[in-house]
Structure 1
Amino acid sequence: MTAWTADRIPDQHGRVAVVTGANSGLGLVTATELARHGARVVLAVRDTGAGREAARRIGGDVEVRELDLARLASVRAFAAKLAADHPVIDLLVNNAGVVLLGPRRTSADGFELQLATNLLGHFALTGLLLGNLAAARNARVVNLSSITHKTARLDFGDLMFERDYRAAAAYGRSKLATTIFGVELDRRLRAAGSPVVSALAHPGLTRTNLTPRAWEHRGRAGRLIARLGLVATQPVEQGALPQLRAATDPGVRGGQFFGPAGLWETRGRVTEARLSREAADPAAGKRLWAAAEELTGVTYLEARP
């Protein structure tokens, strides 16, 4: 089978794509390839200075907008202005993520910072832009998972990890929650008869500033993986291919999950990846959705009886 590469991205002229965390790493590569193939790309970034530098490097039809996913007020302001300026949005790539080391930190809204950024900000953003996405032909939402979701478990009695906090475990939980969100979003879009497709991707072990942090505090095995990562990880250009395929391949179906095909899904050509049992569990999806609605105040795509 021929490996899927960025050269297989179809023409994107006339499409509006929003990429969160687009000023570095996977987001920068994703935004660059979308712009290279003709899309108008919105770089949704917390640091607009870094965003402007990224836009200069990318070239093409790009715009920079401030978005702090850890502040729901910022998410609402960003979404309101973007929705007014772009009535039709074709693609939303929920790429941005944060990995913390050290003691527990909270967002401006009082949520554990990794869950706030990686899940709740994107949950709210997607809901606030869903009308614009539904107005497009062949619109898509892509959520970025992680192989760390496979060993994580959610504690619905302590979603904010207030008890026995461990930064790496909280990161894994946040990525499991993000994965559950992407799968549940697909279920609800289908049930509502929406034309919007929800797909997922993970980059395996890729040389970004996040990968070593995700592993180095996960015990002896995690520290070994972090060290091996210096030589075993793949370039960021390769790591971005699963989310680019999820975002642009015309054959993608709702709920599909892409990642590397190599050992333990750590690197290699793009293929369909495997969800953990909890990520695929409809009961977990329903519970997480209800919690996210309550925490963010954003309600959309009610489940049908």
Structure 2
Amino acid sequence: MWNEQSIPDQTGRTAVVTGANTGLGFETARALAEHGARVVLAVRNTEKGKQAAAKMHGDVTVQELDLTSLASVRDAAAALRAGHEQIDLLVNNAGVMYTPQQTTRDGFEMQFGTNHLGHFALTGLLLDRLLPVPGSRVVTVSSVGHRIRASIHFDDLQLTRSYGRITAYGQSKLANLMFTYELQRRLAPHGTTAAVAAHPGMSDTELIRNSPAVVRRPLAPFASMVTQKPSMGALPTLRAAADPAVLGGQYYGPQGVGEVRGCPRLVTSSAESYDVAVQQRLWAVSEDLTGVTFPV
């Protein structure tokens, strides 16, 4: 049974964790720091980031990062590159869920723009800091939501013609997985960096609490039975990040029924997520939209 005590010594490793001031990101960063990693909390609100860092033990710093703005992503990547000759671990954790129809500062649908395009750009801008490091990893957090009403809508990628909160979230989380699988295909010849995905099951975080009432209310009476604490929900991410046995292109989630809760294990994603042609098309479109190309 893999748990937080299973994390090997992280001394000497530098980890960047997005959205690390609360919930799953906080627990991921905290555990890595407690096991010796130098951890950067990449967060939109630096004051909240500093408050989170003060609750952690170890070498923890804060970097401003607003994934809804490509300018902010570029500024954050430049600062991280200036401050770190190498990065061992990038955890693409931050995200939004079931937001009303709105756009990022660059005009992208909010969930797709934040959850996928922001992380796509950040990874591409930081990858040359990971590539020289044997055993380095890019871990991207997806969701069981990638199976629900999920498809990559190339004919209406920003969902301007027909918007649905669940559809938009599903598309963004499916994109997270397709990005991981295509990134791993490109990284494999280098033999140093692995791309891995994870999902937390149903965790009691702000994402759940901020869901629309139509989603939240039916779950309320059963919350304690269908959700788990953020510290448990972070375990699949931590395993993907730190377990020496993990391989590139793998996907980790809770071991319980329906992958809702439990200790982390290797899981599989939807059949659509493994469609190589769609992965590659999404990659090309993401490069065009962000203006970021990868050194692989």
TM-score, structure 2 normalization: 0.95
RMSD between aligned alpha carbons? Answer: 1.6
Which structure 2 residues correspond to residues 155-304 of structure 1 after superposition, within 5 A? Answer: 155-190=153-188, 192-211=189-208, 213=210, 217=214, 224-225=218-219, 228-301=222-295
Residue 169 (structure 1) shift: 1.6
* Deviation of the 1:59 alpha carbon: 2.7
Percent identity between the two aligned chains: 52
Please show how residues 88-107 of structure 1 align to structure 2 within 5 Å. Answer: 88-102=86-100, 104-107=101-104
Task: From the superposition, tell whether residues 164 and 19 of structure 1 become closer, same or farther in structure 2 (CA, over 3 Å).
Answer: same
Consecutive unaligned residues in structure 1, runs of 5 or more: none
Given candidates 60, 76, 92, the residue that maps to 2:74 is 76
In the superposition, the TM-score normalised over structure 1's length comes to 0.93
1:154 offset after TM fit, Å? 1.6
Cα 1:60/1:166, change in 2 over 3 Å: same
Give the conservation status (yes or no) of the 8 Å contact 1:36–1:60. yes
Task: Determine which of 116, 141, 163 is the counterpart of 1:119.
Answer: 116
On the 8 A contact 1:189/1:301 being kept in 2, the answer is no
Question: Take 1:178 and 1:142, find their aligned partners in 2: how far apart are those partners?
Answer: 10
User: Structure 2: which amino acid aligns with 1:281?
Assistant: D
Name the CA shift for 1:234/1:215 in 2 (closer, same or farther; >3 Å): farther
2:290 corresponds to which letter in structure 1? T
> How far does residue 135 in structure 1 lie from its aligned partner after superposition?
2.1
Cα drift, residue 193 of structure 1: 2.4
Counterpart CA distance in 1 for 2:42 and 2:214 is 30
- Aligned AA (1:240): A
C-alpha change, 1:72 and 1:248, in structure 2 (3 Å) is same
Choose the corresponding residue for 2:145, options 133, 145, 148.
Answer: 148
Describe the SS at the equivalent of 1:117: helix
2:25 maps to 1:27: yes
- DSSP 3-state at the match of 1:58: coil
The 10-residue stretch of structure 1 (35-44 or 173-182) with the greater mean CA deviation from structure 2: 173-182
Equivalents in 2 of 1:112, 1:162: separation in Å? 8
Would you say the 8 A contact 1:216–1:226 is kept in 2? Answer: no
Q: Is the 8 A contact 1:133 1:139 kept in 2?
A: yes
> Match for 1:268: what amino acid?
G
Report the number of matched residues. Answer: 295
Q: Aligned partners of 2:134 and 2:269: how far apart in 1?
A: 28
Q: Once superposed, which parts of structure 1, at least 4 consecutive aligned residues long, lie more than 2 Å away?
A: 211-218, 222-231
Letter in 1 for 2:38: R
Deviations 1:42-80 (A, max 9, x none): 000000000000000013101101000110000001101
Residue 294 of structure 1 aligns to which amino acid in structure 2?
A: D
Q: Which amino acid aligns with 1:98?
A: V
Shift of 1:147: 0.1
Q: Structure 1 pair 114/231, CA: closer, same or farther in 2 (3 Å)?
A: same
Offset at residue 216 of structure 1 (A) = 5.6
Q: Distance in 2 between matches of 1:216 and 1:200?
A: 29
State the AA in 1 paired with 2:137.
Answer: R
Change (3 A) 1:174 1:94: same
CA distance in 2, matches of 1:182, 1:204: 18
Q: Is the 8 A contact 2:73 2:122 kept in 1?
A: yes
Per mean C-alpha deviation after superposition, the further-off stretch among 194-203 and 238-247 is 194-203
